[in-house]
């Protein structure tokens, strides 16, 4: 069977199925609730499309410079025409900007920065995207309580603090500083820089996922396993005995026990 795992990295798979950025479910049905046109510049039009997830009922927005044909299949919902292929390539900006919304277990200050970096990159504001990525590393170092004289020292310190995270991701992040200082500026917005920034942002997502999400998932799975273990092998209930209460309830218990215990026969003592 052909490997189709690349579909998991898309927003839109076809005109009926997409990967929802809100409920984090893959291959769910969606519909277009509306589309509207507005003036991007005085000479250029832009279209906004609103995609409604039929699983979690949330709506995402997608901008395109193309007037994509849609057809209503109910009174309220429409879908893109069947002949429109590779829908993701037709949109230059989406909200949420991240492919999947970052997990809530990641601190909000880090989520906001990577979302802003994604937005800058989508609009080809490479200086802003790189600056957000650098700022995120500084905030992550602060949360981890690691220090360093500069950006590079902080990344290396984070690599030591989190040995469980693949070191390749940290090595990739070390290139952000040189990109910002030499490649990314107003007169050098080339494709090479944009492609490398996408790799860096992908590395940051993986680092954050490994640091904040994976340990929590492991803890949840451990709790589930322990719960199943308790259900299969329940511990014997411990019955607490209150001696005073028992004696109070049966004041003649001692005498009753003495009555049933055989007594030694009496007889002449043998010296």
Would you say residue 268 has pLDDT above 90?
no
Note the pLDDT tens digit of each residue in 76-98: 899 999 888 889 888 888 888 65
Instruction: Please tell me which of 53-67, 79-93, 174-188, 207-221 the model is most confident about, judged by mean pLDDT.
Output: 53-67
Q: What is the pLDDT of residue 162?
A: 92
Residue-level pLDDT at 260: 53
Ranges 47-61, 85-99, 219-233, 254-268: which has the least confidence: 254-268
Each residue of 85-112: b (16+ CB within 10 Å) or e?
eebeebbebbbbbbbbbbeeebeeebbe
pLDDT digits (tens, 9 = 90+) for 158-194: 999 999 898 888 888 887 655 545 444 444 444 456 7
Dihedral of the alpha carbons of 62, 92, 103, 150, in degrees to the nearest 10: -150
Three-point CA angle 43, 97, 28, nearest 5°: 110
Please answer whether residues 20 and 28 qualify as being in contact, where contact means their C-beta atoms are separated by less than 8 angstroms.
yes
Pair 83, 71: CB distance under 8 Å: no
Angstrom distance (rounded) from CA 162 to CA 165? 6
Q: How confident is the model at residue 271 (pLDDT cuts 50, 70, 90)?
A: very low
Cα 204 to the center of its chain, rounded Å:
13
For the chain, give every domain's residue range.
Answer: 8-101, 104-231
pLDDT tens-digit profile of 3-23?
Answer: 777 777 788 999 999 999 888
| Digit-coded pLDDT (tens) for 102-131 | 778 889 899 889 888 887 887 778 888 888
8 Å CB contact between 217 and 106: no
pTM for the model stands at 0.58
């Amino acid at each position: 069977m052909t490997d189709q795992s690349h579909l998991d990295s898309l927003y839109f798979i076809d005109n009926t199925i997409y990967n929802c950025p809100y409920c984090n479910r893959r291959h769910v049905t969606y519909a277009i609730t509306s589309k509207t046109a507005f003036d991007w510049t005085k000479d250029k039009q832009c279209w906004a499309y609103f995609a409604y997830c039929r699983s979690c009922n949330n709506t995402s927005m997608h901008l395109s410079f193309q007037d994509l044909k849609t057809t209503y299949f109910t009174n309220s919902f429409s879908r893109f025409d069947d002949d429109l292929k590779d829908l993701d390539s037709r949109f230059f900006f989406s909200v949420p900007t991240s492919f999947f919304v970052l997990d809530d277990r990641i601190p909000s200050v880090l989520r906001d920065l990577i979302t802003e970096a994604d937005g800058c990159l989508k609009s080809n504001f490479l200086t802003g995207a790189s600056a957000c990525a650098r700022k995120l590393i500084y905030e992550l170092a602060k949360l981890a309580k690691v220090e360093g004289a500069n950006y590079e020292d902080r990344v290396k310190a984070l690599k030591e603090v989190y040995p469980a995270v693949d070191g390749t991701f940290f090595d990739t992040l070390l290139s952000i500083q040189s990109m910002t200082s030499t490649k990314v500026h107003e007169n050098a917005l080339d494709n090479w820089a944009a492609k490398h920034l996408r790799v860096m942002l992908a590395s940051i997502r993986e680092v954050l996922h490994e640091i904040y999400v994976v340990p929590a998932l492991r803890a949840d799975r451990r709790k589930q396993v322990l719960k199943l273990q308790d259900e299969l092998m329940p511990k014997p209930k411990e019955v607490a005995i209150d001696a005073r209460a028992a004696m109070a309830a049966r004041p003649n218990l001692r005498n009753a026990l003495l009555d049933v215990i055989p007594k030694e026969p009496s007889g002449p003592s043998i010296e």
